[in-house]
Amino acid sequence: MRDRISEALGRPAAQQPPWPDPEQVRSVSAFLATLPPLVTPDQVRRLRGDLAQVARGEAFLLQGGDCAETFAGNTPEHVRGTVATLGRMAAVLADEAGLPVITVGRLAGQYAKPRSRPVDGLGLPVYRGDIVNAAAPDAGSRVPDPVRMIEGYRNARATLGMLRSGHPADVYTSHEALLLDYERALLVTDPDEPGRPYAGSAHFLWIGERTRRPDGAHLAFAALLANPVGVKIGPGTRPDQVAEYVERLDPDGEPGRLTLISRMGSTRVRDVLPPLVERVAATGRQVVWQCDPMHGNTRESAIGYKTRHLDDIADEIEGFFAVHHALGSHPGGVHLELTGDDVTECLGGTRGITAHGLTGRYESLCDPRLNADQAMEVAHRVAALSKGRT
Ligand SMILES: O=C[C@H](O)[C@H](O)COP(=O)(O)O
Ligand SMILES: C=C(OP(=O)(O)O)C(=O)O
Ligand SMILES: [Mn+2]
């Protein structure tokens, strides 16, 4: 097993921090490996069963939370807000669409960010998420610090404690499997299933659009796991690539083992998605098809805020549903960046946030999130699209 893990992680790995001291990374990793996993194999197996239901068209997957969780923002109020918003959305979906809803938070570990460029607008090394460096705009803060991986683990544990005290226990955790030193250190072997390690960092992990190259370390790592896994697929994805993801990540044909997270952009989804869905259908495998209507619709406002318009988000979801309904496959879920906080990061919605209004409460350190009202609006639209169709 050790050899297979080393072989996977020896492949080219995009988006890893330029750690200044590799020896310190080794000692932090060795320490992390002595800590108990954050999730248990039993919980992960339960999620596997739930996602099998989604893949068969019998349930809906609702996933959401911050783009980048932060250590400072890891408070009971913030976590409660995210979970309460997901809970209200799930209730709308279950009531109006008539399907059981499986809820997964971008929670308790969504701390590592892939970036478009290594340097930011000020000429500083880019912020890569709290588990790597600090967002403050000075050179010292941006130096990657491996001790932050221990902070990440402690924060994730604290979030799990908050979830247990006072929230419904049926919210699973997830994050992008980006930071391989962290993920590797938290692998666990279950004596009942010794052939496949479990990621101990979260119930569900996904591979991002920037790290999904088929010969890369991230794909090979995901292929080893017993956890259900996702892959984000952008508009440049080719049918032969999705066929390879299905083959590599779901070799045994386990319904729901693989979630394909389509993030095409509202103007592309109707053209780009159909050949991919058809190619997957031809494999006979039952994947979960999930729509991320956020990452293909990011733009810059006139005064430089990264933002997204609710109309584009709604339009991409509509296109995603239309494609699946036309091809007879199940539009299985949505993947959203949202918060229960009353932020002003995305444009539009019933309260009509304007480009000027973005200055009011823009708090995200990475991508713009739906606030609670906007998230509810999306939930109602998704429910209306699902109604009577599944
Ligand atoms: O979710 C994250 C962002 O889309 C990704 O990190 C890229 O962001 P950037 O273009 O600001 O680097
Ligand atoms: C970086 C993200 O997405 P993508 O890989 O789709 O760009 C994200 O989910 O925050
Ligand atoms: Mn994001």
Task: Kindly report, residue by residue over 78-122, the tens digit of the pLDDT.
Answer: 999 999 999 999 999 999 989 999 999 999 999 999 999 999 999
Number of domains in the chain: 1
> What is the span of the domain harbouring residue 107?
2-386
Residue 49 to residue 60: CA distance in whole angstroms: 13
Given a cut of 80, whether residue 355 has pLDDT beyond it is yes
Given a cut of 60, whether residue 330 has pLDDT beyond it is yes
Q: Is the ipTM of this complex over 0.85?
A: yes
Cβ 366 under 6 angstroms from ligand 1? yes
Kindly give the pairing relationship between strand 204-207 and strand 229-233: parallel
pTM above 0.90, yes or no: yes
Given a cut of 80, whether residue 388 has pLDDT beyond it is no
Given a cut of 60, whether residue 54 has pLDDT beyond it is yes
- pLDDT bucket at 295, cuts 50 / 70 / 90: very high
Residue 214 to residue 369: CA distance in whole angstroms: 30
Task: Kindly report, residue by residue over 129-165, the tens digit of the pLDDT.
Answer: 999 999 999 999 999 999 999 999 999 999 999 998 8
Residue 277 to residue 234: CA distance in whole angstroms: 13
Cβ 293 under 6 angstroms from ligand 1? no
Kindly state the average pLDDT of the residues 260-287: 98
Kindly state the average pLDDT of the residues 191-204: 94
- In the structure encoding, which two tokens stand for residue 79, read together? 């976590």
Instruction: Look at residue 135 and give its three-state secondary structure.
Output: coil
- In the structure encoding, which two tokens stand for residue 377, read together? 């609006």
- pLDDT bucket at 168, cuts 50 / 70 / 90: low
Residue 74 to residue 82: CA distance in whole angstroms: 11
CB 250 within 8 A of CB 258: yes
Given a cut of 90, whether residue 193 has pLDDT beyond it is no
Annotated binding residues:
67, 106, 209-210, 232, 263, 295, 337, 367
CB 256 within 8 A of CB 227: no
Cβ 295 under 6 angstroms from ligand 2? yes
- Phi/psi for 174 (5° steps) reads -155, 160
Given a cut of 70, whether residue 387 has pLDDT beyond it is yes
Q: What is the mean pLDDT of the chain?
A: 96
Q: What angle do CA 177, 183, 185 make, to 5 degrees?
A: 175
From residue 21, give the alpha-carbon distance in Å to each of 24, 25, 124, 139, 154. Answer: 5, 7, 19, 17, 22
For 171, the enclosing helix (H) or strand (E) is: strand 171-176
pLDDT of residue 390: 45
Q: What is the CA radius of gyration of the chain?
A: 20
CATH code, 230 = 3.20.20.70
C-alpha of residue 69 to centroid of ligand 2, in Å: 13
For 287-301, the DSSP string reads PEEEE--STTS-EE-
C-alpha of residue 322 to centroid of ligand 3, in Å: 24
Could you tell me what percent of the chain has a pLDDT over 90? 94
pLDDT of residue 170: 82
Could you tell me what percent of the chain has a pLDDT over 70? 98
Cβ 68 under 6 angstroms from ligand 1? no
Task: Kindly report, residue by residue over 216-250, the tens digit of the pLDDT.
Answer: 999 999 999 999 999 999 999 999 999 999 999 99
Q: What angle do CA 257, 291, 159 make, to 5 degrees?
A: 70
Residue 353 to residue 303: CA distance in whole angstroms: 15
